[in-house]
Amino acid sequence: MIAFLPRRPRSARRAVPAWLSHPLGWRSGPVPRAAVVRGALSAGPLLALGVLTGEVGPGVLAALGAMLAGVNDRPGTRRTGVVHIGLPAVAGAFGLLSGGLLADSGGRWAVVPALAVVGWLSGALSVAGPVWSAAAMQLLVTASIGAGMPLAGPAWLKATCYLGGAAWLLLLRFLLRTPRLRRGARWDGEREAVAAVFDALADVLRAVGGPDAGAAGRRLTAAQQRADESVRLMRLLSWPARTGGSAAAHRIVARFGAATALCEAGTALLWEGRPLPAQVAEGPRRLAAAVRADGAPGALPSPASDTVQRGAFDRALLDAAIAFDRTEPAGGPPPYGTVPTPPREPRTVRRLLGRVFAPARRENGLRVALCVAASTAVALSLHQDHWYWLPATAAFLVKPDLGPLFSRVVNRVAGTAAGVLVFILLTASAAGLGSPWWVIAVVVTGGALIPVATRHFAFQTAVVTLLVLSFLHVAGDTQATVARLLDTALACAIVLLVGHLPHLTDPRIRVGHRFAVTLRSTERYLRHVLDTPPADDTPHPPGAPYGRATPAAPSGGDAAGVALRHAAYRALAEARAVAETAAAELPGPYRTHRHDWPAVVARAERIVEAATVCAVRVEQGVPPPPPAEVREVTRALAAMADALEKGCPPAAAALPPPPSRCRSLRDVVTHLHGIQALTTAA
């Protein structure tokens, strides 16, 4: 008789390490049809124009500029596209100009220290944010291409052609509108961004008290950041020619302010954690529909202010209804360009040098510089021509903010192999064709695939490899296919070796920097909202109902406070992304310092939420916490931020005991103690 052992419970099986499962991750989402059409009409026609006119070199560079601009062609308004595509394109043109001038100087080995300097600058700039990171990437890649790609023409002409290709894609973005947006409306993209905030808030209200509340809160934060960027750029990059356009822009700004106040109150409800009636979410749903239709929301749900947090939400909903009914301010349209920004700290030489040479910037810059310099030296030793492929590949791999290094290496090799194989098959199939038009067809198809290929790095690498090999084939390099695959494998090996050297991969530095920015932003936000004297000096008598006798100004009206809160949540989102990357890194020299970063993120989220709740409660008339407690909490935030920024053990940060009077501030200190315990456990 055969005896069967009991099946091992699923919970007891050993989980697959994150560094091993990360290369298989795939981002899902709707197909960006407008971006697909723009991609098909970008690089292919430019390359065809170069072939028709006999100017193959400028055509290849223009197509290259359009291709790299297509990688940054993400969903958003047309004005966000100007920044997300334009800034990296300008940086890429500058890199191509610098590389071309370096090549014209004739010093072959001088390119190694030059690219090392550009690599350090690229790595250091990556800390500033995702748009600057994309610009730094194009700067480094195009500097390598400009110094090594054998194309005739002066350096300034190469940079101009590259910039022209990116400008062509930007022009297509302005001409080709998303089908679901109404024709002829100037502000549809901004309206959609603001409406998405109300929809995300409705999802949060439905999820309060349930297991999906955290994920819904993160989606709300992302929607707020997209809308904040869209509205900010709308006011900075607009030239209103008609009063009607100014009035429409004013309505969008006012409705986003109402959304901001509602989101602060919604965050307080999320922090409270009490499940809400289903009809509470109907208010934001109707406001979202009104934003899209540029009309009125109609009747909103009746208030039920049984707690301070619920009272804040009901008051913000009433203020939103008033804002939606108002079509024009008393003094006319708002002045364009007056965008609320956080109060700036005093600028000193010491503070500036501290930011430039901060530990995170030093680590990122040194890691990128060493990898690029080593790849360039090896390439120059092995190749007389076409050596630029190795440093360009290293640039795509080594920047820590782009994802886990091991995952990118695996996907880079797999994607390059797939792209090379497809191009070899296409070349063999078109062997009997004498014209280069089959290559143009490949470029058109590859350009259309780029917006979809950004969902997985291997897919994106395969498409980009196919396009670059097509560019080289048109330029006359028909023997580069297999050599590019070998160069990619060599560059991946160099990056894995150099990128895991000691003192270059300590996650406490780059992740700690992001959390330090989050805590400092939260500290500034708390100091702002708690140091500002209240509008009504009447004391709050014990037992009196919540709320002031005179209505407090909604939090959306405090431009500086709103900007500080947005800065804190933006820093939190960046910290979450970096922490997820660090958790999926291959165990290296600092395996003993692999903290539980997801748990640290959860604690940081609760700290920012508690700070928002504290501000909401004070605005609702609850007596503010004693100044001594406020000073203790803000000092604790600053001390923990300094410890995380320097990479020293956070146990050295002296944290006070949780205050007893204010529950939200008690939450802040409690979670600071939790972060201290999590980051010193290893």
**Concatenated DSSP letters of 609-673:** HHHHHHHHHHHTTPPPPPHHHHHHHHHHHHHHHHHHHHTS-GGGS--PPPPSS-HHHHHHHHHHH
Q: Which residues of the chain have pLDDT under 70?
A: 1-15, 17, 19, 177-187, 237-245, 326-360, 400-401, 432-434, 480, 502-507, 532-558, 586-595, 647-653, 660, 681-682
How far is C-alpha 375 from the geometric centre of its chain's CA atoms? Answer: 28
How many CB atoms sit inside 10 A of residue 474's CB? Answer: 22
CB 291 within 8 A of CB 194: yes
Dig out the tokens for 290 from the structure: 């009104």
Taking each helix axis as running N to C, give the angle between helix 627-646 and helix 359-382, from 0 to 180 degrees, rounded to the nearest 10: 20
Residue 302 burial (10 A CB sphere; 0-12, 13-18, 19+)? exposed
Cα distance between residue 575 and residue 164, in whole Å: 35
Closest-CA residue to 395 (of 372, 379, 425, 415): 372
Dig out the tokens for 200 from the structure: 């995300």
CB 506 within 8 A of CB 363: yes
- The confidence score (pLDDT) of residue 41 equals 92
Residue 599 burial (10 A CB sphere; 0-12, 13-18, 19+)? middle
pLDDT per residue as tens digits for the range 406-449: 888 888 899 999 999 999 888 888 776 667 788 899 999 999 99
Cα distance between residue 668 and residue 466, in whole Å: 51
Q: Where are the alpha helices (DSSP H) in 150-187?
A: 155-175
- The confidence score (pLDDT) of residue 554 equals 37
Dig out the tokens for 439 from the structure: 């290559």
301, amino acid identity: P
DSSP state of 479: S
Handedness of CA 454, 455, 456, 457 (dihedral sign): positive
Dig out the tokens for 607 from the structure: 């700290």
CB 658 within 8 A of CB 606: no
In angstroms, what CA-CA distances link 339 with 187, 330, 335, 350? 17, 19, 9, 28
In angstroms, what CA-CA distances link 525 with 7, 88, 228, 619, 641? 53, 31, 17, 14, 14
What is the torsion angle, in degrees rounded to the nearest 10, for the CA atoms of residue 58, residue 61, residue 67 and residue 73?
Answer: -90
Domain ranges of the chain: 30-177+352-499, 188-237+245-325, 507-535+549-680
Dig out the tokens for 384 from the structure: 């007389």
